[in-house]
Chain A
Amino acid sequence: MSPITVEARAFQAGDQAHLHAALERARAGAGGTGATRTLAELTWRYAAAPHGARVAFALDAEGVLVAGLAATRHRALLEGREGFWLELGDLFNDFRRGAGLARTRGLVLAGQAFAERFGGASADPHPLVYGLPNRRAHRLGLKHLEWEVLRSENELVLALEREPRRAADATLTLQEVECFPAEVEAAFRAFAEGRAAILVRDAAYLNWRYADRQGAGFARVLARRAGALVGYAVRCDDRLLDWVAAPEDEGLVAALLGWACAGARADGHARLTAVMPDTAREWLAFQRLGFRVQGTREFLCFKSFQRPAIMSWLFQHWSYTRGDTLR
């Protein structure tokens, strides 16, 4: 059995080229199936992330990257305490290397090193790693890395012909923007009251996610009341990707949904979709506004390193949007 060396560390400048080549080899080894990653996308996802990224790479005797994991680091709130969660963006294995069980040895070793180096009891602790794997990564993660499914994801779909109409809230002004200002975090903090687990939506995160990504075509809007920023929304095509709007502020919700519907319609779409946990307060509220629930092919998966982030707790308490797992 050929020796495998594992590196578990912070993402470093230049890693994206090695990762890109390894992903291509893994993809070729899987018969060319699965989506491709561009070098620019990997640079954005890992090298340019505001709080960096973490990787575990398995290298063969020649130093070739044969398997590994790469995850972006995000600020998060867990029962009022702030920390960092990891969003797994890539999990890969070159199945042309080795035979039998040895084919996944590199991935298993990388996964173990990743958990030990970045798990809850390590010097660089993260209570949670999460991701939205494709079918192959789902199988690998559950079988070899002790990942769990949190939810078989559904989406809320609004046929634009059924868009709810209500009188505009005259106290609100909407402004489309190129990037998010620092004051957005205060609106997020108000929104996050009573939400026990949630990624922090500060300007650095939102601009990285929705302004800095090349070619993604995001539309961003801020909502203000008497000059104060009270909410925002992000849309891409027919997808409402992210928003901050207190569900009880019906005027704000209606204004942001109206903006998203108008944008989707202008882009030639007949519907608007959104993803949120079925335990969210907005889940039933959106259905009452005319959204319908449809299935997706997505399983939200995670690995927890710290209580209370076990499955049943996260299932009930984690607030997220589609943007949190945007591939």
Chain B
Amino acid sequence: MAAPKYEIRAFRPGDEEGILATFNAVFGENDPAFVPRTRAEWDWAFAKNPAGQRIWVAECEGVIAAQCAALPYRVLLDGKPASFTQGVDSMVHPEHRKGLRRPGLYVETAYPFFRQFGGQGADLLHYGWPVEPAWRIGRTFLGYQIVRTQIIHVRELEPGARELPRGVERVARFGADVHALYLRCQAQWGASVIRDERYLNWRFADHPRFRYQVFGVRGAAGELVACAIYRRADRPYPGSGLIMDWLVPEDELEAGELLREAVLAQARSDGARAALVVFPEWSRWNAVFQEWSFHLHSSNYLLIGIVQDPRYDTWWLREHWWYQLAELDVV
């Protein structure tokens, strides 16, 4: 039998349904709880992302046999605009896997992806939280390096209030004032995804599957001075109340306390067993949350990166990159 012929190429309009079919075949394999991804969800992630689209595929006789894809994010890096990408949906169709073939179809699809999108002046960092087999392939063939072995702030939920504290409001959609809040926060950060109205509404308010709760605290003039985004989830642990994003200036401790209480109240109402959040260890909030009875737990999550600019490395990212669960697509 002749070996299959693959066309490895950038995404073209019309690939959407083929990518979806392969995605649902790959990620639904051996997972009875898998809920197939819809076209609306694909469109949200790859067609409506305000930072653009990054997809390469391997096609074989009309089937999307493999994909290397990422979600791009606009970032501020040392105060200047740049872009990072999060690797997502790495896959090879079950009928196109050949265990002993090295480097394998995924890697062959990834090489031109990184040639197009990597390198100086392009996406500075490609990051992800891969499972171990993907980590091993990426380390061997694509230059993955560990930025951080992730630890997670966890607070077991005790009985308590289920109503939002006074001074905290629910925010349905972000307005322009959130960018000013972000700029205030990012003065402490060397690199961060730009949290503006466009990004945050896409990431949270417009998400087609997950429902997020946004809590805000406003100042005397009605401006947003702090906000926290929350979601009840069963990842990474069953019964998690996830703080997805914590946009609170370090000197707004009182607003932080109000938002903490709002998150805990919502988590209790949702029947969550624990509240979870991640912070870079250098952030003041790492210490503050420990004072707020959050303990740091180990996890199996590896934050990996391919740093595509020689002026930066994993050491720098570990010490300067502010990220949250918001930057992890699966939650």
Contact B297 A152 (CB under 8 A): no
Contact A139 B280 (CB under 8 A): no
Q: Is B223 an interface residue (CB 8 A)?
A: no
Task: Choose from A151, A295, A315 the contact partner of B280 (Cβ within 8 Å).
Answer: A295
Q: Which stretch (A198-206, A211-219, A279-287) binds chain B?
A: A279-287
Contact A278 B151 (CB under 8 A): yes
What's the nearest-Cβ distance from chain B to residue A93, in Å?
17
- List A contacts of B149 (CB < 8 A): 149-152, 278, 315
Binary flags per residue of B272-291, CB closer than 8 Å to A gives 1, else 0:
00000000111000110010
Interface size on B, residues (CB 8 A): 24
Q: Is A154 an interface residue (CB 8 A)?
A: yes
Contact A284 B295 (CB under 8 A): yes
Q: A293-B281, A294-B281 are in contact. Are A312 and B146 (CB under 8 A)?
A: no
Residue of B with least CB distance to A283: B298
The prevalent SS among residues of B at the interface is mixed
What's the nearest-Cβ distance from chain B to residue A308, in Å?
13
Residue of B with least CB distance to A138: B315
Contact B290 A152 (CB under 8 A): no
Contact B151 A292 (CB under 8 A): no
Task: Choose from B132, B148, B300 the contact partner of A152 (Cβ within 8 Å).
Answer: B148
Contact B146 A299 (CB under 8 A): yes
Interface residues of B in 238-265 (CB under 8 A from A): none
Contact B300 A154 (CB under 8 A): no
Q: Is B319 an interface residue (CB 8 A)?
A: yes
- List A contacts of B314 (CB < 8 A): 299
Contact B145 A297 (CB under 8 A): no
Q: Is B74 an interface residue (CB 8 A)?
A: no
C-alpha gap A85/B319 in the complex (Å): 31
Task: Choose from A150, A283, A312 the contact partner of B300 (Cβ within 8 Å).
Answer: A312
Q: A154-B151, A293-B290, A294-B281 are in contact. Are A278 and B132 (CB under 8 A)?
A: no
Contact B139 A148 (CB under 8 A): yes
What's the nearest-Cβ distance from chain B to residue A288, in Å?
8
- List A contacts of B318 (CB < 8 A): 152, 295
Residue of A with least CB distance to B150: A152
Contact A154 B281 (CB under 8 A): yes
Q: Is A30 an interface residue (CB 8 A)?
A: no
- List A contacts of B281 (CB < 8 A): 154, 293-295
C-alpha gap A278/B152 in the complex (Å): 10
Q: A135-B315, A297-B315, A312-B132 are in contact. Are A149 and B298 (CB under 8 A)?
A: no
Contact A284 B297 (CB under 8 A): yes
- List B contacts of A39 (CB < 8 A): none
Q: Is B313 an interface residue (CB 8 A)?
A: yes
Residue of B with least CB distance to A155: B281
Binary flags per residue of B141-159, CB closer than 8 Å to A gives 1, else 0:
0000111110100000000
Q: Which of B149, B297, B313 has the most CB of A within 10 A?
A: B149
Q: A152-B146, A152-B318, A293-B151 are in contact. Are A279 and B290 (CB under 8 A)?
A: no
Residue of A with least CB distance to B135: A311
Q: Is A121 an interface residue (CB 8 A)?
A: no
- List B contacts of A315 (CB < 8 A): 149, 300
| 7 A-B pairs with least C-beta separation | A295-B281, A278-B298, A149-B146, A293-B296, A152-B148, A151-B149, A279-B298
Interface residues of B (CB under 8 A from A): 132, 139, 145-149, 151, 280-282, 286-287, 290, 295-298, 300, 313-315, 318-319
Given pairs A138-B315, A152-B146, A152-B318, 18 additional interface contacts (CB within 8 A): A135-B313, A148-B139, A149-B149, A150-B149, A152-B147, A152-B148, A278-B297, A283-B296, A287-B295, A293-B290, A294-B281, A294-B286, A295-B282, A295-B286, A295-B319, A297-B315, A311-B132, A315-B149
